[in-house]
């Protein structure tokens, strides 16, 4: 009962909690079917209990949130049924339809006690989200983008997205490496999570890593073993499917699921039911090329034989024609040769006498020609000597005249001859006085004439 204090009713926390509990029991007394998304499963293996955090989202925003519980005995039964129907267990991120009762506990607060889960609802939600992904890819023009990639003639460099310990990867590797035709393949493993919460992020990251090194590979193979629908729901994710569609290399899927294709399988260049079939698909490309090579070999061999036969026939005909032409030419030139021999015999005596006459003329010319040549050169030398004497005498006379003329000019320029003409030289302190400006009154000045010197004192200097 509440206490009274200062005319106010005061309730304890327990009383309020019990009131809330009774109010909820009266307002929500039944069991209700509820749909929500498991934000986090919160399963505890030691106790076997499960405490899911449930949310409702709209356009990515959380509109409601509540805690739930599934007790151990009930959880095992629910999870087993869910696995049987969907092929996978309850986990984070799934949308479920469940039967629950609303509970309120004084210590643990409000929660939903889940009694049953309808697996078909989860499958329907997955199918709805899958269709939304398909519609979006088609609207964005990405649906058949990877299918338009060109598969190399011999796809031998393979980037494999898988797990090294996966049986699917082991089967795929054995098919390629142990093929009886000894075709050689180069496998590069890009490890990734193949299912679960991190699968989308892990697979997309490896696809992007391969795309950045696309020049090193011919094809991408996504390899995984079998699994149920829930285990494959990551392959219906829009982001992962988009990464496959935009991959610059052809993507081959072998994820071990044949009944209900995922979106990734639909948008990939080629989808094979199992990793083994994916390996055989690549081997078949080598077979196709081998068939083409064999066909080309047959055609080339047949064509070579036909050409050889044709060339043999042509060569045989040319040999026959050559033989005929050779005989004809031999006969024609043989008659010409006989005619030339006769001509040579007839003209031999005349040509010999003519050659003797030419030889005698040459000998006579060689005997007298050098004597005439020496006489001519001697006469030329004498003429040159005479001309040199005349030229030397003329130059000597001209040189003597120039010398006499220079002597006369030099005599005229002698100081004594200049002084004889009435000129004089004035000296002050032994230096020639060249300008009146340097004549200082009172200095002694010597004036030199033709026949002597006059000594005087400078009294006045008229500089003007």
pLDDT of 254: 92
Sequence-ordered list of residues with C-beta below 8 angstroms from that of 230, at least 6 positions apart, any chain: 86, 87, 88, 89, 91, 94, 122, 126
185 touches 176 (CB < 8 A): yes
Query: What is the pLDDT at residue 60?
Result: 67
**169-173, 244-248, 295-299: which range is least confident on average?**
295-299
Structure confidence at residue 229 (pLDDT)? 47
In whole angstroms, give the CA distance from residue 187 to residue 177.
9
- Beta-bridge partner residues of 410: none
Mean pLDDT of 5-20: 81
Of 110-119, 232-241, 365-374, 405-414, which gets the smallest average pLDDT?
365-374
Query: What is the C-alpha to C-alpha distance for residues 154 and 289, in angstroms, rounded to an integer?
Result: 8
Q: In this predicted structure, what is the pLDDT of residue 100? A: 92
- Statement: residue 183 has pLDDT above 60: yes
* Selected residue with higher pLDDT from 372 and 258: 372
Name the CA dihedral angle for 123, 129, 133, 136, rounded to a multiple of 10 degrees.
Answer: 150
* Residue 172 confidence (pLDDT): 94
Measure the CA–CA gap between 78 and 82, rounded to whole angstroms: 6
Average pLDDT, integer, range 176-191: 93
The pLDDT score that the predictor gives to residue 390 is 82
Bridge partners (DSSP) of residue 110 are: 104
Q: Residue 162 pLDDT > 70, yes or no? A: yes
Percent of the chain with pLDDT over 70: 92
> What pLDDT is recorded for position 311?
87
CA distance 282 to 252: 9
Give the mean model confidence (pLDDT) for residues 435-455.
Answer: 83
In this model, does residue 349 exceed pLDDT 70? no
Residue 442 reports pLDDT greater than 70: yes
pLDDT at 347: 67
Q: Give pLDDT, residue 176.
A: 94
* Residue 184 contacts residue 200 (beta carbons within 8 Å): no
Cα gap 386→383, rounded to integer Å: 5
Residues near 208 by beta carbon (within 8 Å), at least 6 away in sequence: 243
Number of H helices, E strands in the chain: 9, 16
pLDDT at 399: 81
Model confidence pLDDT, tens digit, residues 97-146? 999 999 888 888 888 999 999 888 877 777 788 888 999 999 999 999 99
Q: Is the pLDDT of residue 198 over 70?
A: yes
First vs last Cα of the chain: how many Å apart? 151
């Amino acid at each position: 009962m509440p206490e009274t204090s200062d005319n106010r009713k005061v309730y304890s926390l327990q009383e309020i909690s019990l009131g809330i509990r009774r109010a909820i029991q009266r307002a929500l007394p039944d069991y209700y079917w509820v749909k929500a998304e498991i934000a986090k499963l919160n399963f505890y293996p030691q106790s076997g209990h499960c405490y899911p955090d449930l949310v409702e989202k709209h356009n990515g925003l959380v509109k409601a949130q509540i805690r739930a519980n599934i007790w151990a005995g009930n959880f095992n039964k629910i999870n087993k049924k869910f696995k049987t129907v969907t092929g996978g267990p309850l986990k984070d991120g799934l949308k479920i339809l469940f039967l629950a009762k609303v509970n309120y506990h004084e210590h643990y607060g409000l929660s939903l006690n889940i009694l049953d889960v309808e697996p078909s609802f989860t499958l329907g939600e997955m199918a709805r989200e899958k269709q939304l992904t398909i519609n979006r890819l088609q609207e964005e023009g990405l649906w058949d983008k990877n299918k338009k990639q060109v598969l190399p003639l011999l796809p031998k460099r393979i980037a494999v997205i898988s797990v090294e310990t996966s049986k699917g990867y082991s089967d795929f590797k054995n098919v390629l490496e142990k093929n009886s035709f000894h075709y050689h393949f180069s496998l590069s493993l890009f490890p990734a999570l193949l299912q679960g919460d991190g699968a989308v992020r892990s697979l997309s990251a490896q696809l992007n890593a391969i795309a950045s090194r696309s020049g090193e590979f011919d094809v991408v193979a996504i390899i995984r073993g079998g699994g149920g629908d829930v285990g494959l729901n990551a392959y219906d994710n829009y982001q992962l499917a988009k990464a496959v569609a935009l991959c610059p290399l052809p993507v081959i899927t072998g994820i071990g699921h044949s009944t209900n294709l995922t979106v990734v399988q639909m948008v990939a260049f080629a989808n094979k039911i199992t990793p083994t079939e994916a390996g055989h698909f690549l081997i078949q490309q080598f077979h196709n090329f081998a068939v083409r090579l064999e066909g080309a070999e047959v055609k080339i061999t047949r064509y070579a034989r036909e050409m050889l036969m044709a060339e043999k026939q042509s060569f045989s005909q040319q040999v026959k024609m050559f033989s005929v032409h050779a005989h004809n030419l031999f006969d024609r030139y043989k008659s010409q040769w006989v005619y030339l021999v006769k001509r040579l015999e007839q003209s031999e005596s005349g040509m010999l006498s003519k050659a003797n006459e030419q030889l005698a003329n040459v000998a006579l010319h060689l005997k007298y020609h050098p004597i005439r040549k020496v006489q001519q050169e001697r006469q030329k030398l004498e003429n040159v000597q005479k001309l040199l004497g005349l030229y030397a005498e003329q130059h000597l006379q001209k040189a003597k005249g120039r010398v006499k003329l220079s002597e006369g000019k030099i005599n005229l320029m002698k100081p004594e001859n200049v002084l004889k003409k009435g000129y004089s030289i004035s000296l002050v302190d032994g230096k020639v006085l060249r300008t009146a400006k340097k004549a200082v009154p009172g200095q002694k000045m010597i004036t030199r004439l033709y026949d002597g010197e006059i000594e005087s004192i400078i009294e006045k200097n008229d500089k003007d």
